[in-house]
A and B are shown apart, each in its own frame.
Chain A
Amino acid sequence: EAQVTQNPRYLITVTGKKLTVTCSQNMNHEYMSWYRQDPGLGLRQIYYSMNVEVTDKGDVPEGYKVSRKEKRNFPLILESPSPNQTSLYFCASSLILKTGLTYEQYFGPGTRLTVT
């Protein structure tokens, strides 16, 4: 089954304790992305990657790191989490067409993070 998986699904942590949220896709997609979703603000892009070893900042990259060492995996790293990073996080992946355009994004189930 084609899917994007995220782990963990729920996480409660304390300020300053480094954490990693994993994201994996089994569709051989080139494009992968991380978003956070907050009430009233919608989905905001944190980082995206067009392929292995190629990452770019989205709209809200401060406080986050990513890496793309393998095509299927795109972990999100919070080196020193703060309460304002409490949010619902989604990972997504997409094909890149021969025209260079991306197509539909497949989203993971989400990770609900609480930083106290």
Chain B
Amino acid sequence: EDQVTQSPEALRLQEGESSSLNCSYTVSGLRGLFWYRQDPGKGPEFLFTLYSAGEEKEKERLKATLTKKESFLHITAPKPEDSATYLCAVQAQMNDMRFGAGTRLTVKP
């Protein structure tokens, strides 16, 4: 069965303290891996799509990378406004979408 596991469940950082979030997956035929940010009480907001191993995408303080088994979301010098839950999702051969449980990030000033 397809599975997506995110770690850690929660992460507390000081402002400026860089770190990485992990998304490991087991799916039959990965078609795409997606990262979203979700603020409390709101719908997820798109960050990145990665389609093949070795691919990298960057946006401001965030950088997403993809291997054949996992993806990392690297956060460089985070700010308090980066506090949110970060969700990883994979799309497999049948076009269904499977999300991980998310990493809740808190950045303290």
Contact, CB under 8 Å: A56 / B44: no
Which residues 86-109 in B have Cβ within 8 Å of A in the complex?
A: 87, 89, 91, 94-102
A-B contact count (CB 8 A): 61
A108 lies within 8 A of chain B by Cβ: yes
Contact, CB under 8 Å: A43 / B44: yes
**Chain A, Cβ-Cβ closest to B94:** A56
Interface residue tally on B, bucketed by range:
20 to 34
Contact, CB under 8 Å: B34 / A56: no
Interface size on A, residues (CB 8 A): 27
Residues of B that sit less than 8 Å from A by CB: 31-32, 34, 36, 41-46, 49, 51, 87, 89, 91, 94-102
Residues of A that sit less than 8 Å from B by CB: 4, 31, 33, 35, 40-45, 48, 50, 56, 58-59, 90, 92, 101-110
6 interchain pairs (CB within 8 A)? A42-B101, A45-B99, A101-B51, A103-B49, A104-B34, A104-B49
